[in-house]
Structure 1
């Protein structure tokens, strides 16, 4: 199968990767926000920044939720909504198809919470969401263990619905048909109604606790079951390759997975739009750095295995 050119990337690098990938039996991917860039999603800090005059990083804590659950749910409802408006891009579909073809030989460690990889059909047993998902919810009652996965309701409760811009005559006309233009509620100048705690998502199991987003907040431990699954795969034998996609892998645990994979014999393939974003320990002989958009790069890199990728429209 002849290698197709990718703008800005050396043809010999594509060809050498194509020679290598068919012989790989155990492969890891470490995924960051850059995977979803072509889907139009900003990074967490890009989404947040100063969100309605609140630092997004300060909203992503258990303490913030305890102090003002309505504000935190507004923020996460907004993020859920924006991610649902986005579509998985060719990189998501390429990784999903590769995972299916590898039949357990390919595991992905995703730092993303946007739900785009699951929506692309990535097999859940081989996709490890170390930071959780915007579309999982769990009860905050200490004595309740309720968790719901894959709740894509938008909004999750009516009180969190996005308002229409009633100052816009076209929106007022559209109200009759319920086709309203949504406001950017990240803008603090947009007036929002107060939300009573009774109108926030509540646990259907214990009927007492508030539900919260199933993401890992600052100050919380990463999920033991997810970390154990990743470690079990890494420790099960040699690793041929780790693909570092859309992330600098500079913080724990991301950095450790590159190091662990190298210790198991893995070569490293970086796919990143930042040419200076090298993996921990830098580039080694035999590694690849594909400087480009994952949505354009990955379908071609994986073509010897997945063939010509068909992306739903």
Structure 2
């Protein structure tokens, strides 16, 4: 009778050599992107078939768009917040959170979905270079109000989604509501600006999502924290690149910087072509597959088995 045993997730020789290095590593950094959250069911808002298909993300995720039409921008981000909250952290999120409790370890995340935070990743070792959907801040120039991890859904009643929780801007949704779809950028039902999230501190400004919009600088405090950790005179032993090609700034620079400080590189990705711009060296690792399966497996020798919490 033919064997039905499942083939190993990772070639045994690669797993053995990686775990030997992992076990002896003192300082480790992970660079993560959208592939970390893919198996949690989150679609990308920039790709084909992504969120808000009838609105270009580059037209909505800008300071200018918020100035012109804050209601439309908040509808977009309220939908993204809702979809992220419907998703759940996967085993890779929990594995990285556990590694942070056991090693001198930092996760540099390009994701804004809040899943690492909800997996209880220690905040001090989680650096969000693109901000978070669940952070908000005042849009008034002289007001410094900011709030982290606001998971209220909807953030204000006026931004509640339709009961079917579907994307309200798809062609099908527009047809169902008998709106004119000759122009795909048809205006959504108007919201009164007074019903949008308001700053509780200055009482004048609107709150805006705490993400980095196109044309904005990355958060300097976060970049400084990463730089300080990377510049520590102690060697970096390992950088794990998960679900990102790491070919754009600042991601590419972190891989190069870690390597210059002694790190070996391990990549976890679905596409074998998605490796850092500098490529892989002899002694590095490439693990092909779903991050939610691969990451807990390769980290098991340090963190043990990863169990998902029961959902209420």
TM-score by length of 2: 0.90
Instruction: State the number of aligned residues.
Output: 291
CA contact (8 A) 1:27 1:240 kept: yes
Equivalences for 1:7-156 in 2 at 5 Å?
7=9, 9-46=10-47, 49=50, 51=52, 53-102=54-103, 105-156=104-155
Q: Secondary structure at the match of 2:46?
A: helix
How far apart in 2 are the matches of 1:87 and 1:278? 27
CA contact (8 A) 1:5 1:11 kept: no
Q: Taking structure 1 as reference, are residues 149 and 201 closer, same or farther at Cα in structure 2, changes over 3 Å only?
A: same
Offset at 1:10? Answer: 1.7
Aligned residues: CA RMSD: 1.6
How far apart in 2 are the matches of 1:241 and 1:147? 34
Query: What residue in structure 2 maps to residue 268 of structure 1?
Result: 265
Offset at 1:249? Answer: 0.6
Offset at 1:182? Answer: 2.7
Is it true that 1:184 corresponds to 2:167 in the alignment? yes
Is it true that 1:199 corresponds to 2:182 in the alignment? no
CA contact (8 A) 1:48 1:56 kept: no
Query: What residue in structure 1 maps to residue 275 of structure 2?
Result: 278
Is it true that 1:233 corresponds to 2:229 in the alignment? yes
**276-285 or 227-236, which moves further after superposition?**
276-285
Offset at 1:47? Answer: 8.1
| From 237, 242, 252, the counterpart of 1:255 | 252
Offset at 1:147? Answer: 0.1
Offset at 1:183? Answer: 3.2
How far apart in 2 are the matches of 1:52 and 1:293? 26
Q: Secondary structure at the match of 2:29?
A: strand
Is it true that 1:209 corresponds to 2:205 in the alignment? yes
Offset at 1:57? Answer: 1.7
Q: Secondary structure at the match of 2:281?
A: coil
Equivalences for 1:165-180 in 2 at 5 Å?
none
Query: What residue in structure 2 maps to residue 157 of structure 1?
Result: 156
Offset at 1:279? Answer: 1.1
TM-score by length of 1: 0.90
Q: Taking structure 1 as reference, are residues 146 and 264 closer, same or farther at Cα in structure 2, changes over 3 Å only?
A: same
Offset at 1:278? Answer: 1.4
How far apart in 1 are the matches of 2:281 and 2:59? 38
Q: Secondary structure at the match of 1:71?
A: helix
- Structure 1 residues not aligned, in runs of 5+: 165-180
How far apart in 2 are the matches of 1:47 and 1:75? 16
Offset at 1:48? Answer: 7.3
Query: What residue in structure 2 maps to residue 172 of structure 1?
Result: none
Offset at 1:185? Answer: 1.4
Q: Secondary structure at the match of 2:272?
A: coil
Offset at 1:186? Answer: 3.5
CA contact (8 A) 1:99 1:123 kept: yes
How far apart in 2 are the matches of 1:61 and 1:48? 21
Q: Secondary structure at the match of 1:243?
A: strand
How far apart in 2 are the matches of 1:81 and 1:232? 34
Offset at 1:275? Answer: 1.1
Query: What residue in structure 2 maps to residue 171 of structure 1?
Result: none
Q: Secondary structure at the match of 1:301?
A: helix
Query: What residue in structure 2 maps to residue 169 of structure 1?
Result: none
CA contact (8 A) 1:89 1:295 kept: yes
